[in-house]
Each structure stands twice: as C-alpha cells, then as structure tokens.
Amino acid sequence: MSETMPLHQALGMTDDEYGTVCDLLSRPPTEAELAMYSVMWSEHCSYKSSRAFLGRFPTTAPWVVVGPGENAGVVDLGDGWLAALRIESHNHPSFVEPYQGAATGVGGILRDIFTMGARPIALWDQIRFGPLDDPHNRYLLEGVVAGVAGYGNAVGVPTVGGEVAFEECYAGNPLVNVMCLGIMREEQLVLGTAGTPGTIAILLGSSTGRDGIGGASVLASASFDAGSDTKRPTVQVGDPFEEKKLIEACLELYDRGLVVGVQDLGAAGLSCATSEPAARAGTGMDVNLDAVHVREAGMTAAELLMSESQERMMAFVHPSKVDEVLAVASKWEIDASVVGTVTAGDTLRISHNNQVVAELPAASLSEAAPILRRDSGEPFWLEDLWTNTLEYLQPPDITRCLLEILADPSIGDPSWVYEQYDHQLFLNTVVGPGDNGSLLRIKGTNKALAVSTDGNGRQCYLDPMRGGANLVYEAALNVAMLGAKPMAVVDNLNFGNPEKSEVMWQFIETVEGMSQACENLGIPVVGGNVSFYNETDEADIYPTPIVGVLGLADPAPRSVPRLNRAEAGMALWMFGPKNSRNLAGSSFEKIIKGHVGGRPTGADSTTGKAVIELAVALAQNELVPVMHDISDGGAAVTVSEICIASNVGAHLQYSSWIGLFAEAPHRIIAAVPPEHFTAVRRLAEDLGVPVSELGEFGGDRISFDNPVAGATSVSVDKAAEAWRGAIRSRMSH
C-alpha cells in the first residue's frame, strides 16, 4: 500500500464510489464515515456485482414469512411453527486460518438464525478442497473440520450433514459454506428493526477489539495470489462459549418479549448493526462509541465501526425494559452496553470522545450502495469444451473402475469428517450424515424437517445453466426420498472474479438455471449469499453454487427410507429416465480418464417434478425401505453404497456400461419388497415415471450382468474397503 494512496483507495473504494459519497453528503466524508461506506459498499456486504441479477430468483409462496433481505429466510410449517434458514460462506478466512475461519463461519451463521428469534437446531457444512495428495490441502481439511467441530460441538448445535469434495481448482481457494436451520413458535419471530424513536440500542456479548478490521471488505473480496501468506491480515477468533451464552440470553429476551428488534454484528460490525435496523425502521439513530465495551484502549472511531469482533448482537429495547434486558445479560454472564437511541428523521449520528464523528443518512449505507452491471459474455472456450468428448471403443473393466471411483475422496466414505461433529444433540436427528439428506423431527409434533445441501462445480463449469438447475432437482429429490415435500431453497453462489466477463456469464446462467428449476418445482428462494473473487493467481474456481433445500414431512413417515435397509430378496429397481448415455462431467471421466469435457445432460422439467412427487409418495406410504438417487459416480456407485450400508450383495442387469456410470438427473435406485411390486408400479405409472427392473439384492457380491459381455462382480467387503478408506487412509499419517 503506497503512502500516497488516497484513503478511500486504501479502503478498497473506487474513485467513482468516493464521488458518490461526496455527493450524498454534499461534502467530503470524515474518516469514520469513509470507513463505514467502505465496508458497507464492499462486494461482501452490498452484493454490488450480483444484486442486479438476484432479482431473477422466485422468492414468494404462501408459506414464505420472511424472504431474502433479512438475516435469514423464514417459512411457515403449520400449527404455529416457523423455520428459519440461511447459508453463508467463509472461503477466504478459512484459507488464511482454517480453524478460526471455519469456526467463525459457524458462529456467524448461528447468529443469523437466532437473530430471527429461532433456536438453531442444526448445521450443514459444504466443504471443498484441492486434492489430498498435497499436504497443504490435508492441513486445510484438517483445520476446517476441526474448526467446525470445535465451534459447533461446543456451542451445542449439531452438524447433521453436508458434503466434502476435492478438485484441483479449489487448491488455492477452498470453499467453506455453512447452512443453519432454526425453529420457533410464530410469536417468537423477531426482525432486524430499530423500532420507533426513543428505542434504546444495547450492544450484547463480546467486547469490541481490533480483530478482523477490514475483514469483510478485504478478505472476502480480495483474491489470493502467491504473496497472500505475507499479507497477514488480522483474523477473527471465535468463542463458542460466549456464543452459547449469547444464544441463551437472546432466546430468553425473546421469550419474555423484551426486545422490539435485533441485529447481529457480522461483517461490517457496528456500521451495519446501526444503519440497517434504522434503515428498515425508517428512523435515525444517535450512537455513542464511548459506551461500547472494548477489548483494548485507544481504538479509533473507524476501528470501532469496522471491527468484526465475533459474538456480538445489537438489541433494540423499549426504554422501560432496559433494566430487565441488562439483568438477563448479567444472569447469562455476558457484557451489555447501552450505546444508542433511535431518533426521528433518518440521520445516523455517531459520536466518539464526545465529538460527532459521523453524520449521514442511515439508509444511504445500504440503499445507496452501488449496483454494478458488469460485462458478461459466453467464454470463448465453451464450444471447444462441449465438443471435447471422449470416444470409447472398448468397454472398461467395470469392477476395477468401480473400485477406483469408490476409493476417490469425493465419492467415498465421509465419516472421517462427520464423526468429528456432534450430529445427535437435541435428540431430533432421525436421519443423520451419510444418507440422502438429513431428517430432523420436531418433538411434540408429527412433523419432521428434511434438508439436503448439494453442489457440483464440475457440471456447472461445463454448463452453468444445466448444472444450476440439476442441483436444485438433486437437493429437492434428496429431501423427497425422506418423505418430505420440498418447500424452500437457500443458495450460496461461489464464483470467481466478477470483473471477468466469463465469470459474470457463468453467474447469470447459474441463476437462470436454478430459477427455472425452482419455478417448476414451486419452491421459492428465501435467502442466499454470493461469494466472488474465488481465484488464485488469476485462475478462477469452477462456478460452484451450493443449494440447500428444506422440506417438510407432515406427518413424518414412521419408517424412513435409508441406505442400510436393503435385504436379500428385495428387487432392485430404477425410477426415472432410461438409457442415459452421457458421461460428460461424470466422476468416471474425471477419476478414470482424468478428463473434464462435453456437455452434461440437462433437466427434464416434467420428469424431474414427477420423480420428486413419486419419491415423496413412496416414502410417505412406506412402500420402499431404500431409495438413493443416482448422482456422483452413477448407478454403479449408487447401488454399491446401498450394498455397503446394508451389507448385502446385488445383481444388476445392464444394457450399456456407460449407463452404469452416467450421472443424468432425476433417477432413483430403490430396493422394493415383492409384496409392494403392484402398488409401486401403479404409483409410478400414475405419475408417469418410467420404471426399470434392473435386478435384485442378495448374496455377498455386487455383480453386473450384460447379455453380451457377461457378468463381472466384486465382493461387498472389497467395495466397502475401498469406499471406507477414501478419506480415512489419506488422512491417517
């Protein structure tokens, strides 16, 4: 940073943006004001590159109580119950400091949920790294998993699912996305509003220090290059113990009706937690920084306003309730300071050392933020990529390929990861990690909530629109196979540098594909997050949207389909489109051939929807004990995973070997008991879903049989050994 660089540039603002601020204020901003605008107008906080396109998402449905724009989306579960959900990324902080980066990611997403009044009941973590043969990637995986575990387990919110994947493009830029779900009674819903003039602002939780200053705008927006380990930016440190106390204190405040609004302090800290609630309420606010409880002396106003110290919340309280709020804070042993008063008008006035250091329209920090329409254009290499397909003259050795794929860390057993997470706390976890998705009961009701989070960067790289749509169908199908009807989507859009036109094109295509799928399925997007600048040395990551779908099973099936319920004598059927012959973007081509090319099969809106309806009906009527969708690795892997989980063999007829490894969407493998053949066939026929009777379960080998090529098989034990060692064997040294 050169000494002659103007302050606004040092804070990451363009000259245009600086000019806008001067126009807004009709004068040059003070240092404190500039600090506030710089963090609030950063990519991370303002979504300036993406906002113009996010409006494409469908966001409404009768059951949506709170859509995008608040701290979390909220949907109505019936009978007075609400669910709050949200997903966030902590990619850049996790690369700089994997343990604390992941830990503070968990802490942040939890605050988004309990800010709404809900008790967080479960977390999902979606993590992606470079290949595990590089020790640095092992270090990052180890650190991120320990960070999620260290924070999540201690704060007392179970991590019940997620996904881990490995791909070269994430080596210099791992992805760490965390989703959280909370539930509440409808009367507990709290919004991030400052209320009416006279309302008192109370800062709760940790003291404010210099940690993470500029983190939001610097870390989340700056790309990594080889020198980034010498930049040594300040990282935030999480304290799950403080967060646990903060959760309990806030829930008690809501229970007792002591607050009119609440806002968590995340990126942009006090700048955001004062301006946004005031903007939402259409008010102003007087804030006294001298009242803020601090960790170190001598902090400047700008530092106080930008600090990203963790585990802090701002509560807005009627003057008559201030003493009670302070008493609740004291009971839970958290610090609390009265820092502000809501005022009439729209001016946010901030004082420090008894002087006014900032005076600006509260809403200007969020609403006047720039909206960029960056250039977008189809990548020049796209056509070449689509025509770059492999020709197969000879069929491969099927079982050898299968074993190799099962032993791949992106496909194999993820239990090395999830056994480090408490996934059972609260006694709600009916189906936990390692299955199609997660199913959580709501005690005292017949309801259960299903969640699946899914991503597939390789497919989105080959075709972002198809890839984006397929992801929504996949996550919705995973939820449906647990007997739940998909009802809402949250997404985390991880992309490269938006200043490149091809990255913006990928982004826009992805949003379009996802939107079409959501519209077709009638499920709104209730919240999301965008993470740009995921690149290293100018190489962008694959466009990697992560989709989380929430579904409601009401009533929950008594006996939920699971991978481990197949038994000898059950038939092995496939539901969905037949004769998939496309290996583009498949795990087979990536793992066996080292090839990424071609164009993946797109969604079929009619069949896609029908298969989801069929899955819900099969699960609800308890007709099939096992369903598992065909995704990474194709049908051969799907069948193997069922056989490994159930410890039973299978015999499968196939017409083309390619069909065993193709990953086309909308397909389910099921174990069907003979007594339900008729009912299952009829249900599929009514919904127009093709049924393929591929074989049966039994014995102790997984065998693939073709009229021409004959049969080939592998023992379940051998498949299990390959699958179980995929991550574990690489991490144990």
Q: Could you give the CA distance from residue 72 to residue 189 in angstroms, rounded to a whole number?
A: 11
Q: Please, what is the minimum distance in Å from the beta carbon of residue 467 to another protein?
A: 33
Looking at beta carbons only, is 203 or 525 nearer to another protein?
203
Interacting span for another protein (CB under 8 A) from 240-248, 527-535, 576-584, 718-726: 240-248
Task: Give every CB contact of residue 578 below 8 A, 6+ residues apart in sequence.
Answer: 690, 692
Among 229, 320, 391, 675, binds another protein (CB under 8 A): 229
Count of residues touching another protein (by CB under 8 A): 48
* Cβ-based nearer residue to another protein, 8 or 210: 210
The least distance separating another protein from the CB of residue 729, rounded to whole angstroms, comes to 14
In angstroms, the CA 413 to CA 645 distance is 10
The residue from 33, 112, 242, 663 that contacts another protein (CB under 8 A) is: 242
125 binds another protein (CB under 8 A): no
Residue 255 lies near another protein (rule: CB under 8 A): no
Please count the other Cβ atoms lying within 10 Å of the Cβ belonging to residue 14: 12
Residue number with CB closer to another protein (150 or 455): 150
Q: Rounded to whole angstroms, how far apart are CA atoms 616 and 483? A: 5
Sites for another protein among residues 146-165 (CB under 8 A): 149-150, 153-156
Cβ 527 to another protein, closest distance in Å?
A: 26
Regarding 24 and contact with another protein (CB under 8 A), the answer is no
| Options 133, 255, 333, 397; binder of another protein; rule CB under 8 A | 333
Per CB under 8 A, the segment of 174-182, 419-427, 530-538, 699-707 that binds another protein is 419-427
The span from the CA of 437 to the CA of 631, in Å, is 13
Q: Is 533 in the site for another protein (CB under 8 A)?
A: no
Please, what is the minimum distance in Å from the beta carbon of residue 253 to another protein? 16
Rounded Cα distance between 59 and 56, Å, is 9
Rounded distance, CA 428 to CA 162, Å? 17
The binding track of 424-463 with respect to another protein, each residue x by CB under 8 A or -, is xxxx-xx----------x-x--------------------
Any contact of residue 647 with another protein (CB under 8 A)? no
Q: Does 698 bind another protein (CB under 8 A)?
A: no
49, 173, 193, 206: which one contacts another protein (CB under 8 A)?
206
Among 114, 421, 657, 704, binds another protein (CB under 8 A): 421
The one among 352, 423, 628, 651 contacting another protein by CB under 8 A: 423
Q: How many C-beta neighbours within 10 Å does residue 437 have?
A: 28
User: ∠696-587-535 over CA atoms, to 5°?
Assistant: 150
Cβ 160 to another protein shortest distance, Å: 11
Q: Give the number of other CB atoms < 10 A from CB of residue 472.
A: 30
Could you give the residue numbers annotated as active site? Answer: 44, 90
Residue 55: partners with Cβ closer than 8 Å, 6 or more residues away: none
Among residues 154 and 338, whose Cβ is nearest to another protein? 154
Q: Which of 370, 543, 564 is nearest to 471 (CA)?
A: 543
The candidate with the shortest Cα–Cα distance to 88, out of 106, 66, 103, is 106
Give Cβ neighbours of residue 680 (< 8 Å, ≥ 6 apart): 573, 618, 623, 624, 670, 672, 691
Under rule CB under 8 A, residue 136 binds another protein: no
CA distances from 403 to 20, 214, 692 (A): 60, 47, 25
Q: How far is the CB of 447 from another protein (least distance, A)?
A: 14
**The one-letter amino acid at 686:** D
Residue 207, judged by CB atoms within 10 A of its CB (0-12, 13-18, 19+), counts as middle
* Residue 518: half-sphere exposure toward Cβ, Cα within 13 Å: 27
Query: Considering the rule CB under 8 A, would residue 124 count as an interface residue with another protein?
Result: no
159-166 and 119-129 strand pairing:
parallel
Find the shortest distance in angstroms from Cβ 599 to another protein: 41
Q: Is 241 in the site for another protein (CB under 8 A)?
A: yes
- Contact residues toward another protein (CB under 8 A) are 96-97, 100, 149-150, 153-156, 206-207, 209-211, 229, 232-235, 237, 239-242, 244-245, 295-296, 309-310, 331-333, 415, 418-427, 429-430, 441, 443
